[in-house]
Amino acid sequence: QQPVQSPQAVILREGEDAVINCSSSKALYSVHWYRQKHGEAPVFLMILLKGGEQKGHDKISASFNEKKQQSSLYLTASQLSYSGTYFCGTEERPGGGADGLTFGKGTHLIIQP
């Protein structure tokens, strides 16, 4: 079942923070986050596993709430380069992602100077 992402779109000024949510009605084993710029390939950001810790690098981090089956992606002090569409991909059983992911419809993030 396709996870639900919110918001669908967000416009920020450079330096502001953003939170993107990914929710599922089913129990999840892992959540994968990707960013895609228009016409380009999606680029991997991070993976969160059930029972795992919050992950992050630089000013982008994410958490996974197993009780709510929700993952949140946090972008702190956003930069122009953060613009793009963010997708979460979910996995309902442990397979190492080998069975492919179920992606949400994406969140469009626009960063203005």
Partner 1 sequence: DGGITQSPKYLFRKEGQNVTLSCEQNLNHDAMYWYRQDPGQGLRLIYYSQIVNDFQKGDIAEGYSVSREKKESFPLTVTSAQKNPTAFYLCASSPGGYTEAFFGQGTRLTVV
Question: Where does this chain touch partner 1 (CB under 8 A) — which range of 13-21, 56-64, 69-77, 104-112?
Answer: 104-112
Q: Is residue 97 near partner 1 by the rule CB under 8 A?
A: yes
User: Per DSSP, which regions of the chain are E strands?
Assistant: 4-6, 9-13, 18-23, 30-36, 43-49, 55-57, 60-65, 70-75, 84-91, 102-103, 107-112
CA torsion through residues 78, 80, 82, 85, sign: positive
* Choices 13-21, 33-41, 58-66, 74-82 (CB under 8 A): range interacting with partner 1: 33-41
Check binding of 35 to partner 1 (CB under 8 A): no
Q: Please report whether residue 30 would count as binding partner 1 according to CB under 8 A.
A: yes
Distance of closest approach, residue 86 Cβ to partner 1, in angstroms: 11
